[in-house]
Amino acid sequence: MAITVRRPNLSWSERAYLPAILSGMAITLRHLKNMLAGRTKVTMQYPEQKWDSYLPEHYRGAPALVKDERDRVRCVACQLCEFICPPRAIKIVPGEIPLGERFAKVEKYPEEFDIDMIRCIYCGMCEEVCPEQAIFLRKDYAITGLTRADMVHNKEKLIEIGGVMHGLVLKWNEQK
């Protein structure tokens, strides 16, 4: 059985939407007055002012590779980040460390390490899965390029952006 709901009878001013229009204009005038008095800011002037100081601690930006204090790449080319990446934005070509070297026990290093920043969704899974803490998400939100090739960051560019990370690196630990 259908129930009929009767509409209320509106007065002439309510049918013309005058109260709604006037209340909206009052809000607009209040915002204008506060803006002219300098109590509220409307627009951030982007190139001069940046969000860097306002970013939360848990902000996830673009991934970058890091080195240790002795200028060695922390990545062991285990390819976990490549396998876990949902959009398949990471491509790693592992290379072998020669047997005669001091750290031959590590076996591999990244010969090529590319991240396609157009495909990257900044999920942070690569950072979470990395056993050597070699990849980190930096607080960068202005990632630009003129061509698609500019948006594919190679190993050198990722290390330049990432910089040096201090702390224990299991890869270079003599006792491991």
Give the domain ranges of the chain. Answer: 13-42, 55-172
Per residue in 84-140, pLDDT (tens digit) is: 999 999 999 999 887 777 766 667 889 999 999 999 999 999 999 998 889 988 888
The CATH T-level fold of domain 55-172 is Alpha-Beta Plaits (3.30.70)
Among the listed residues 57, 59, 126, the one whose alpha carbon sits nearest the alpha carbon of residue 90: 126
> What does the buried/exposed string (b/e) look like for 105-124 if buried means 16 or more CB atoms within 10 Å of the residue's CB?
ebebbbeebbbbbeebebbe
pTM of the model: 0.68
> 98 with 104: CB under 8 angstroms?
yes
- Return the H-helix or E-strand segment holding 64: strand 63-65
* 3-state secondary structure (DSSP) of residue 62: coil
